A and B are shown apart, each in its own frame.
Chain A
Amino acid sequence: MRLLIIIACCLASLNTIAQKINPDDFYGTWRLDKYSDAEQYYHPPKKETGDYITLNEDMTFITVSEGEKTKGTWIYNTNGQYVEFREEKGKREKIFIHFLSEISMVATYDTDEYRTWEVHFVNKK
């Protein structure tokens, strides 16, 4: 619970100093780099090494999560500061974007299991 409060505070403070996100920076292949919480960074578990998200300019995406490949349509919501993935099967997933540059993206998944973690991706152009 204490951790949740700290993270909520961090997220709130991130929100107040929100950087302006340039949607062009989204395009490309984002490899899972690490996780973090309020205290430290963590390497992804072995089964997640090699996970990535490819965001294409035609709004299609490909993700590989624990080796499993998914395709669909993605969209960035400027006002909500999140990316929504709509899979071909109809399943939706949402990640809140805290930071985005050409080479780095920090996000939080909108699912309880991962809500307290920040996920760091890198884009090696």
Chain B
Amino acid sequence: MKWSVALVCCLISYSAFGQELISLRAVPFTTFTAKNIYVETVLDERKIKNLGEHKNLNDETVALSLISGAEESIEYFYSLTFPQDSLSKPIIIKLRALNVQESNRRMNDGIARAARVHIEMIFCEKVNGELKEIYSIKHNEDAVFDLYDKQNLYATHEKRIRAALEYCMHAFLINYQEIRSTISNPDFKPYRENQRIDTKLGQWFNLVTLKGMQSRYFQGYGISYTGFVDRKKGLIRPYETSLEVTWARDDIAEENGFNEVNAFVFRPELYFFYKRLFRGVYAAGSVNVPIGFELLEDLEGDNSFNFVIGVGASQGLRIIPWQEKGLVLGADVFQQLETSKVYRFDYGVEIVLGMNF
């Protein structure tokens, strides 16, 4: 038994450390600038030297790596386009990041699979024997596939790595003082002057929030889970599920002939969107279907049960100041039409407080 356990452990660790090697195809590229440089050395400064762990086509988790290491592979790739000669200027590249990512994301009405190569490079030249950083770039090479087109997605990681390497070189050449004069007015700025880029594909936010609700007829609390992929442009379509516990205000319950009215409601979304207004600030809107039940106690103390269903809408704001982890604040106004024993149409406000992780 001991042996079989040990054997299973060995197999698990073997597959956990399985590796697949990527060989970059030798495709030289067209440059639109002078080519009087060559890449002398690539220094791999990444903490993790592989490209990331992924499920291969056999559904095994493997670490992807470049076949002869990142340094040698990239040097060779660039040498195809920039052969070394005595007139060329040697360039040294520090590789700060190079990884391959995959993630689901919403696309139009469905879900698509997205792939990314993320790269960060610093181009340097030697001045008096010391490395001088002259250009730095962060870049994402993205592609979108059908959700089930795993084969095509997996097979093209290699192509995106080449495209990312090529992209960084184009951007560097355009900005490199010694040859930039051949191009008029380049719009490829170094990243520091440019917008921030997401290093992770489809930055997925998990929010768990509590809300305090106050309406014309009810008050109460709710808890929600919201998941969404952040995006700067367009509408974000989050997934949300929530549970609410509410009770009719005393005077309202009495007017309707009850001592107490408590309601428990789920709120699946029909349509729900966030719109990024600024970094960390989102407008939120939803159309939803409240569904649940009311427990009613009449003035004689008898209990009864009422099934509730309806349609609701809400409009509000969410503030998520810290992207990685932290506080979430929000406020909404809401309206709803429900089969409640105490109202048909209700409206109110809710204050949201929670965490993102």
B188 and A86 contacting across the interface, CB-CB below 8 Å = yes
Total interface residues in chain B, CB < 8 Å:
38
Within 8 A of B (CB), among A1-36: 1, 4-5, 8, 12, 15, 23
A90 and B166 contacting across the interface, CB-CB below 8 Å = no
* B-chain residues with CB within 8 Å of residue A73 when the two chains form the complex: 174, 183, 185-188
Q: Does B149 interact with chain A (Cβ within 8 Å)? A: yes
- Report Cα–Cα, A8/B145, bound state, in Å: 7
Stretch from A41-49, A77-85, A97-105, A117-125 at the B interface? A77-85
Q: Does A68 interact with chain B (Cβ within 8 Å)? A: no
A78, closest chain B residue (CB): B29
- Report Cα–Cα, A115/B106, bound state, in Å: 13
* A-chain residues with CB within 8 Å of residue B32 when the two chains form the complex: 23, 59, 75-76
Q: Does B146 interact with chain A (Cβ within 8 Å)? A: yes
B194, closest chain A residue (CB): A90
- Report Cα–Cα, A110/B166, bound state, in Å: 18
Within 8 A of A (CB), among B140-165: 141-142, 144-146, 148-149, 152, 156, 159-160, 162-165
- Report Cα–Cα, A73/B182, bound state, in Å: 13
Shortest beta-carbon distance from B46 to chain A in Å: 21
A79, closest chain B residue (CB): B162
Within 8 A of A (CB), among B195-215: 195
A115 and B107 contacting across the interface, CB-CB below 8 Å = yes
* B-chain residues with CB within 8 Å of residue A78 when the two chains form the complex: 27-30, 166
- Report Cα–Cα, A86/B164, bound state, in Å: 16
Shortest beta-carbon distance from A63 to chain B in Å: 13
* A-chain residues with CB within 8 Å of residue B96 when the two chains form the complex: none
Residue-wise, chain B 85-116 has the 8 Å CB interface mask toward A (1 for contact) of 00000000000000000000001101010000
A77 and B187 contacting across the interface, CB-CB below 8 Å = no
Given A8-B152, A59-B32, CB of A86 within 8 Å of CB of B163: no
A60 and B184 contacting across the interface, CB-CB below 8 Å = yes
B166 and A58 contacting across the interface, CB-CB below 8 Å = no
- Report Cα–Cα, A76/B29, bound state, in Å: 9
* B-chain residues with CB within 8 Å of residue A90 when the two chains form the complex: 187, 189, 194-195
- Report Cα–Cα, A76/B152, bound state, in Å: 23
B166 and A79 contacting across the interface, CB-CB below 8 Å = yes
Q: Does A88 interact with chain B (Cβ within 8 Å)? A: yes
A79 and B187 contacting across the interface, CB-CB below 8 Å = no
A115, closest chain B residue (CB): B144
A77 and B146 contacting across the interface, CB-CB below 8 Å = no
Shortest beta-carbon distance from B211 to chain A in Å: 31
A79 and B30 contacting across the interface, CB-CB below 8 Å = no
B184, closest chain A residue (CB): A58
- Report Cα–Cα, A79/B164, bound state, in Å: 8
- Report Cα–Cα, A81/B29, bound state, in Å: 10
Given A8-B146, A23-B30, CB of A72 within 8 Å of CB of B162: no
- Report Cα–Cα, A67/B162, bound state, in Å: 36
Shortest beta-carbon distance from B141 to chain A in Å: 7
Shortest beta-carbon distance from B33 to chain A in Å: 8
Q: Does A87 interact with chain B (Cβ within 8 Å)? A: yes
Q: Does A112 interact with chain B (Cβ within 8 Å)? A: yes
Selected contact of A79 from candidates B29, B146, B152, CB within 8 Å = B29
- Report Cα–Cα, A73/B33, bound state, in Å: 13
Given A12-B149, A75-B170, CB of A88 within 8 Å of CB of B165: no
- Report Cα–Cα, A4/B109, bound state, in Å: 11
* A-chain residues with CB within 8 Å of residue B217 when the two chains form the complex: none
A89, closest chain B residue (CB): B187
Q: Does B167 interact with chain A (Cβ within 8 Å)? A: yes
A56, closest chain B residue (CB): B184
Residues of A whose CB lies within 8 Å of any CB of B are 1, 4-5, 8, 12, 15, 23, 58-60, 72-73, 75-82, 84, 86-88, 90, 110, 112-113, 115
A-B contact pairs, 27 of them (CB 8 A): A1-B110, A4-B110, A4-B112, A5-B148, A8-B146, A8-B149, A12-B149, A15-B152, A23-B32, A58-B184, A59-B32, A75-B32, A75-B174, A77-B29, A77-B163, A77-B166, A80-B159, A80-B163, A80-B167, A82-B163, A84-B167, A110-B144, A112-B107, A112-B112, A112-B144, A112-B234, A115-B107
Task: List 9 A-B pairs, minimum CB-CB distance, nearest first.
Answer: A80-B163, A78-B29, A79-B162, A86-B187, A73-B187, A8-B146, A79-B163, A23-B30, A79-B166
